[in-house]
Amino acid sequence: MKTPILFGDHLETIKRKTTAPLTADLWNHLLSRWEGVAQRVAATGPFTQGALGYHSITPMVVEAAAIWHLTGRTDARDYALKLINHHLNHYAPQLENPQNTVKIFPHGNAEVALAADLLRNALPVDTRATLLRFMREIAIPMTTFEHALAGYSSGSNVSLGRNIDAAICALAWGEESNHENWQQVVNNTCDNVRQYLRNGCDELGFSYEGTGYGEQVMQFLFLFCHLLRQTRWPDDLLRDEPLLRLIPDSFIHMFLPGGRYCATTNDSGHRAPMSLWWLLLAAREWHRPDYYGAWHHYSHPNHPIRPWGDSWPQWAASAGTTPQMIEHVDKTLILTLFYWEPDAPFQPIQASPLPTAICATGSGTATFRTSWNPNALFASLLGGGRNNASLTHGHADCGHFNIAIGDEYLAVDTGRYNTNEDQHSVVLINGTNSYPSSSPGGGMAMDETTGALKDFQRHPILDYCVADATGTKDARWALRNFLFIRTGNEDGYIVMLDNINTDNGTSTHKYWWQLQCATTATIKITGPNSATVSGTDSRIDCSFFHKLTPSTPGEPHNITVTHDIKEWVWPYGYDQDPEVVSQFERTAEGITSIRRPRLLAIQETGSCVLLSLLSPRRGNEPIRQITQIPVTNGIGLTVDSGSFTDTILVAPDHKLILTDQLKCFSEFALIRRNPGGQILNIWTASGAPVQFF
């Protein structure tokens, strides 16, 4: 009997894992998940699932076939045969007459190919004959190489997913079905993977399509790499494509400290990434025990959200839906069984070799953390970067920031199809979107403006980055300077300077600084220029400052701190299925935040020069004492952190910091002193020295 390509030469090893300590628990979990899905299918028939542009009508058919292959369970075999025939019957009219086109299910094609390969000699003669014809005439030719190789879909999740589906069919059945070009389909898909790594991902491996769609792509991509290895295909991407090695780090950098969720970008809520089983593959392939540690942090067997990487039962509990489901893309359990070695070399996340701050200028993704400990302070900053061959799922998010304090995610990315500026923590000019993309009833939208991150710096006491949103706004320039300032242990604070020149100050405008809060957060106004965003165990104290006198004498010079409830723009229209609305409300930031508290600091002036200081605090930690001090045509603050005091000095645009005590040819400076006034450290954005009088 031919060895199925899913297992390759490792069949006996996989069989032993079904009864070995620890891995047997995973195997039993897989069995129970399939049994639940099978009960649902028996009661109501096969159900439809969707991802990356297409759907499937064959839930857990691969897992059922694998269960039969490993254990001989006839009920699993019968289930797999039922769904294979269900899929083939769907295409029967097209097999009878090619003019009778039907709805395509390319992901199901690949599932059926793998399941039938696992069943092999158990396939009835007529089913096998139909399968081979289906593979030859429909499934293997179902490609989009004309767009995905040298076209504008080379960075698209939809094209790559569909071509991988065709290549899986070719690997499993190309030769036996007598498809004349099946090898070329596989080779072209290898090149499509290379193109996606270049055009769908940036220079550090971050996906232009975001953490959600990017993660689903990686489930397809690494499954394909796995199958290439098992079939000993000459073009071994795991061995030969160096850009693959960037991908694990890019996802790990987005982990929130506690490991429950990731910070998210573009069209995704924090339920994504749903699975990172391929970290186990990467750990084994590239000898990275820290990847085992990262997988364990995010998916360990007793994880409260996704044990063994299976997020669906907990998701069903929060969404109020049936747990008898799993998305067809999600081969987590069978592939985790393949790659998880409980006694493999293990480096815990706390000892991660990755830097605590990173900036990818392509996609515009920067992350900052005080350490890799689970109670660390975390922030991310987005830049709205684009690629000319990855045109989907962009948001107007240049300058948007996320903040988590340990496991508490308080300043959030709002999720799926929230494309406009007013759905992100950025500044609105006169309270409106500069170039709106989403509209009520307008369907799925994509922002087409471009921003950038630049000037990233690391220093012993802070990390610094600039989000340039000029291309996303109707303005002369629009800059957000971002400082992640460390104060010791897992403590720190964030300073942002928003510098927006709309029309050279010729008109008065209202600049709406926004913080999109977690659905469960509360906002309290604590003073004329301050507010607190509170969660369950932590909070963010927020203070706002501008120049002590207006840049142009006589112009308005006001800051108003307030808050409201911000709602999703409802791209599919307000007339929604109430159950869908209710599910979104129950899962909050899981898919998309449809309704959330929003903190606003509205500056009325000509050109915006607004400094915000965000101080994350745990429990009853005291508020930081902040005092504004004079700076010539600038802004100065002192921030008391107990064992030392920081002096923050800002000279927007003219870049000469001038006070009665010092001068410095720089736009930003931070001076740290102990209680006796002794200087402990100095940072300037330009690198210029501070000259004291």
250-305 pLDDT tens trace: 999 999 999 999 998 988 888 888 889 999 999 999 999 999 999 999 999 999 99
Q: What is the pLDDT of residue 673?
A: 98
DSSP single-letter state for residue 574: S
Average pLDDT over every residue of 664-683? 97
Tell me the domain boundaries of the chain: 1-139, 201-344, 357-619, 624-693
Q: Taking a C-beta distance cutoff of 8 angstroms, is the pair 424, 396 a contact?
A: yes
Q: What is the pLDDT of residue 358?
A: 98
Q: What is the pLDDT of residue 552?
A: 78
DSSP single-letter state for residue 139: I
Q: What is the pLDDT of residue 509?
A: 96
Q: What is the pLDDT of residue 584?
A: 83
For residue 615, give the amino acid letter: S
DSSP states of 553-565: TTS--EEEEEEEE
Angle (nearest 5°) at CA 405 between 404 and 408: 70
Give the side-chain half-sphere CA count within 13 A for 567: 8
What CATH architecture applies to the domain 357-619? Answer: Distorted Sandwich (2.70)
**How far, in Å, CA of 320 to CA of 37, rounded?**
16
Q: Which residues pair with 532 in a beta bridge?
A: 524, 541
Average pLDDT over every residue of 652-680? 97
CA dist list (Å): 116 to 135, 273, 620: 11, 29, 60
CA dist list (Å): 294 to 223, 260, 685: 19, 12, 33
Which range (443-452, 572-581, 682-691) has the least confidence?
A: 572-581
Average pLDDT over every residue of 109-128? 97
DSSP states of 416-474: TT--SGGGSSSEEETTB-SS----TT--S-------EEEEEEEETTEEEEEEE-GGGSS
Q: What are phi and psi of 485, to 5 degrees?
A: -105, 125
Higher-confidence position of 60 and 270: 60
Q: What is the pLDDT of residue 538?
A: 97
Q: What is the pLDDT of residue 243?
A: 97
Maximum mean pLDDT: which of 370-384, 538-552, 578-592: 370-384
| 1: pLDDT strictly greater than 60 | no
pLDDT cut 70: percent of the chain above it: 99
pLDDT cut 90: percent of the chain above it: 86
Which range (10-24, 469-483, 569-583) has the least confidence?
A: 569-583
Average pLDDT over every residue of 29-55? 93
Higher-confidence position of 318 and 2: 318
The residue among 64, 240, 90, 53 whose CA lies nearest residue 164 is 53
| 574: pLDDT strictly greater than 70 | no
pLDDT in tens, 65-106: 999 999 999 999 999 999 999 999 999 999 999 999 999 999
Number of Cβ within a 10 Å radius of residue 204: 17
| 15: pLDDT strictly greater than 60 | yes
3-state secondary structure of 497: strand
3-state secondary structure of 514: strand
| pLDDT-derived band at 219, boundaries 50, 70, 90 | very high
Mean of pLDDT over the chain: 95
pLDDT in tens, 493-519: 999 999 999 999 999 999 999 999 999
Q: What is the pLDDT of residue 677?
A: 95
Q: Which residues pair with 403 in a beta bridge?
A: 379, 411
| 471: pLDDT strictly greater than 70 | yes
DSSP single-letter state for residue 243: G
The residue among 288, 278, 303 whose CA lies nearest residue 222 is 278
Q: Is 162 exposed, middle or buried (0-12, 13-18, 19+ CB in 10 A)?
A: buried
Cα torsion for 676, 677, 679, 681, to the nearest 10°?
90
